[in-house]
Every structure is written in structure tokens, then in C-alpha cells.
Amino acid sequence: MLKKESLEIVETRYFTFAEPPHPLKLQSGRSIGPVTLAYETYGRLNAEKTNAILVCHALSGDAHAAGLSPDDRTPGWWDGLIGPGRALDTNRYFVICSNVIGGCKGSTGPSSPNPETGRPYALDFPMITIADMVEAQRHLIDHLGIDKLFCVIGGSMGGMQTLQWASAYPDRVLSAIPIATALKHSPQQIAFNEVIRQAIMADPAWRKGSYYDAGQPENGLALARMIGHITFMSDQSMEEKFSRRLKKENLSFQFTDDFEVEGYLRYRGYNFVKRFDANSYLYITKALDYFDLSGLHFIPAVKSTSIRFLVISFKSDWLYPSYQSQEIVRALKRKHAYTTYFDLVSTYGHDAFLIEIEDETRLIRNFLANVGQS
């Protein structure tokens, strides 16, 4: 029933702004410009420009959230959720997704040419934050002529951007759906990101970030991603997928990958090297760690009450545990915001936000229908 027709080929577009002498001011105090954002749109913006939904992606995501890519017809990373008749129904909504600043999928990031040198920024790229990502997106939304977003939605880091939108621009957001996310990174989340960064930076091929002529720090980046993958899955989903199955008939008694789970991690790790820039991984993990909307930083009560929130978490997600979503809900309730919360049963761990499309569709569709009526 959910499987309506998919979107066709979707072209990624590019929007460049903040040309000097008017660069984008960043939270660090530094500036950067020009800035390009890669973005895709699905569906049509209505005449009143009131049907726009901004989709925010997670750590290693990109602007290609739905439809098929022109080159190899790869479906978008949330294709099951976006399309005609789907939860983000492109017959009704104008859906936008842009690659974050700091990324490596067409938006300006550490692998982009530094206009001052003509060579990749590498570590001369300024540190960026979730607020900076949102600020860049805000320029894109202005460019598209949209005054108020019908909805901002995203999982994981996309959920942080969603919360940041509601916090920084409460007048420009009608509804917000933060999924499997947090108001701030816990020390455990920071710790995992720190070992991930150290895995990259310990690789001599990283060359203090200036590896672009020589190629990626493959081993370090693959290892970093392998660590990440463990945290994306749950103990149970790993048991269901791999148990203790061996790759060969017997234990090798060698330092090789005896177990299927080891081979899977290596495959996923080294595959990641082909598609993601190591420095972007460093910058984006730091943005995650710096994020903190707890305490006094969240939306002013008077503004937040006008935004409708749908908060979703997954019971087996131990990277962004349900209690962190419940902290979001408590913070919103304190501000008297209209808030609906679901803690969904799933065995998929943090990956659930990309996998549990059917449950998400049901919740999001109902929620958006009510937003439309209010």
C-alpha cells in the first residue's frame, strides 16, 4: 500500500551565495564565501509557497534524498518516504534536501577549492556547526522564495538541524519532525566521535588533512566508518544478521576476518572510502559534538508554541537512545509546545530511522494532515 510510484530521474542543482565581500558568518567567528549548496527538490512549490518541506540529512547523507540519480539510477537515501503518495507526498508538498556545508557531495566543504589558493581547503576550512548548516540552508530557502517552511524533518544529525531550525527561526517553521536525535551529544557520543576522528588522523596517509593529491587516508577512514557502523546497528540486529557465522568452515587461528560480521564491517568501511571525504567526516563529527540546545538555548516559549512537533525515537537505538528524545519532549513541553512523541519498537538500532519506513509513514502522514488543518 505504501509502495506508490517512485519519482523519476532527479537532477542535483547548485546554489551559490555569500560571495565576498559578503561571506557567510560562522558560529566560530570566522567567515566563508562563496558557499555552494547542492540541493534537490521533488514536487512543485504552490503559488502561495506554503507547501515546502525541508529534509535534513544525517552524517554521511547528501542532497539525493529521493528519486533516481541521473548517472546510475541510485534511489535517494529516504526514497521510501518521499514521492507521489508517500509520507512526504510530492503530489502535495514541495520537498527540498540540500547537502550540508562542510560536506563532500556538492556543497562547499574541506575538499572544495579554497578561492584564495585554488587548492582544496583541507584544514584551512573553518569549523562549522549545526547552526552554520542551518544558516546556509536558510539562504537556500530565501533563494527559493519560501518564507515559512511547512515542515522541517530529519533523523540523527538531520534531527539536530530540525531542532536548530525551530530554535533559530521559530517564525519560519510551521512543524518539525526530529527523529532519533538529541538536544546535545552525550559524553559517550562525543567519545565515539573522538575515536572516529583519531582513527582518521592517526593514518599517516591523512597528512594533516592535505591528502588530496595523494588520495584518501583509506585505512583510517575505513576504520572510522567501521566504528560508526557498530553504533548504527543494535546488538540484536547484529545477532539476527550475523550471529557467530563463520566466513569459512573453520576458525582460521590467524589474524584474519573469521566471522561474517568482521567481513561485513570491512566491506562497509572500505566502500565508504570511495564515496566520502575523510576531512568532511572530521568536520561533521565535530559539528555533532558541539551541538547543544539544552538548557537555556532552546526556543523561546512564546515562539515555540506556534510550531507543531512530532518526535520519534526507536527503542533499540543505543547511539541516540530514546531518553534523549524524551529530553527533547520535556524541553518542548516546558515551552508549552504542541508535541507528539512516539518511541517505536524496532530491532534496527539507530539505522531504524532509515529502515522503518512503514511506521514512520503512518506517523508522519497523520501528523502532517493535522498540521495542514490547523
What positions carry a catalytic annotation?
156, 317, 350
**Separation CA 232–CA 105 (nearest Å):** 21
- Cβ at position 114, least distance to its own copies in Å: 17
- Cβ at position 302, least distance to its own copies in Å: 27
User: Which residues, other chains included, contact 90 with Cβ-Cβ below 8 Å and sequence gap of 6+?
Assistant: 7, 42, 43, 66, 82, 83, 84
- Cβ at position 202, least distance to its own copies in Å: 4
Beta bridge partners of 17: 35
Helix (H, G, I), strand (E, B) or coil at 231: helix
Give the up-direction half-sphere exposure of residue 127: CA atoms within 13 A in the CB hemisphere: 11
Binding interface with its own copies (CB under 8 A): 28-30, 123, 126-127, 184-188, 190-192, 194-195, 197-199, 201-204, 219-220, 223, 226-227, 229-230, 233, 235, 238-239, 241-244, 251, 253-255, 257-262, 265, 282, 286, 289-290, 292, 318, 321
- Cβ at position 228, least distance to its own copies in Å: 10
The closest alpha carbon to 292, from 210, 183, 204, 131, belongs to 183
User: Which residues, other chains included, contact 251 with Cβ-Cβ below 8 Å and sequence gap of 6+?
Assistant: 258
Query: What torsion do the CA atoms of 30, 31, 36, 42 make, to the nearest 10 degrees?
Result: 70
Sign of CA dihedral 48, 169, 366, 54: positive
**Separation CA 222–CA 301 (nearest Å):** 44
Long-range Cβ contact pairs of 206-209 (< 8 A, separation 24 or more): 206/278, 208/122, 208/123, 209/110, 209/122, 209/123, 209/279, 209/282
- Cβ at position 371, least distance to its own copies in Å: 33
- Cβ at position 287, least distance to its own copies in Å: 11
**Separation CA 99–CA 58 (nearest Å):** 10
Q: DSSP string of 279-336?
A: HHHHHHHHHHHH-B--GGGS--HHHHTTSEEEEEEETT-SSS-HHHHHHHHHHHHHTT
- Cβ at position 97, least distance to its own copies in Å: 27
**Separation CA 258–CA 330 (nearest Å):** 46
* E strand or H helix that includes residue 344: strand 338-344
Residue closer to its own copies (CB basis): 86 or 184: 184
